């Protein structure tokens, strides 16, 4: 963060809240002219502060509102086994987030499905085909209390 200043942080905060703001609107908000704002945004993108722009969709409305947090324990702890697991998980559409964690389990998955039947099919036919999995533990989300989709700046 050595090469970003307060104006950059303001831009990041504004864009994180609404990525559809125009350069003109951003310039007005941060009290700069158009060209410096445009150049700052390009630099922030090139330096990786802004990884991508996305719309946050409503999972319920898109029939993917059944959320499950699934913990995975690998059969054995070898580099190739972990690598194979990650390679397979990246191919599975229902897995929307995957974290390598410490503790009793090795990975933590956030899974979105249509309903319990869809999740059951996912466990048997998709997770069940990943050879490196030793065991799983599923927790079904009753309600999403907080999800900021961003970073507090």
Angle at 92 between CA 70 and CA 56, to 5 degrees: 80
Architecture of domain 6-46: Orthogonal Bundle (1.10)
Domain ranges of the chain: 6-46, 66-140
**Helix/strand/coil percent split, the chain, to 5:** 40, 20, 40
Residue 120 CA to residue 136 CA, distance in Å, equals: 13
pLDDT given at position 150:
86
* Domain 66-140 of CATH type 3.40.47.10: no
Interacting residues of 52 by C-beta distance below 8 A, sequence separation 6+: none
Output the pLDDT for position 54: 93
- Asked if 37 and 4 touch (Cβ cutoff 8 Å), the reply is no
- Which 3 state secondary structure label does DSSP give 83? helix
Find where tokens 């899974």 sit: 111
* Residue 149 pLDDT: 85
pLDDT mean values, one per 10 residues, the chain (153 residues): 90 96 98 97 97 94 97 94 95 97 97 98 96 96 92 89
CA angle centred on 104, ends 98 and 150, rounded to 5°? 30
What span, in angstroms and rounded, lies between the C-alpha atoms of 77 and 34? 53
Beta strands in the chain (DSSP E): 66-74, 95-100, 107-113, 133-140
β-partners of residue 73 are 135
């Amino acid at each position: 963060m050595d090469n970003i200043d307060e104006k950059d942080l303001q831009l990041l905060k504004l864009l994180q809240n609404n990525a559809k703001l125009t350069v003109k609107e951003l310039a007005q908000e941060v009290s700069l002219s158009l060209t410096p704002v445009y150049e700052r945004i390009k630099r922030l993108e090139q330096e990786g502060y802004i990884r991508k722009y996305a719309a946050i969709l409503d999972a319920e409305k898109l029939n993917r509102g059944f959320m499950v947090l699934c913990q995975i324990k690998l059969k054995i702890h070898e580099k190739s086994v972990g690598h194979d697991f990650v390679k397979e998980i990246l191919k599975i559409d229902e897995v929307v987030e995957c974290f390598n964690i410490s503790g009793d389990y090795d990975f933590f998955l956030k899974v979105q499905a249509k309903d319990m039947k869809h999740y059951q099919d996912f466990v048997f036919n998709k997770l069940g085909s990943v050879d490196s999995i030793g065991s799983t533990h599923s927790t079904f989300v009753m309600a999403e209390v907080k999800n900021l989709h961003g970073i507090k700046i």
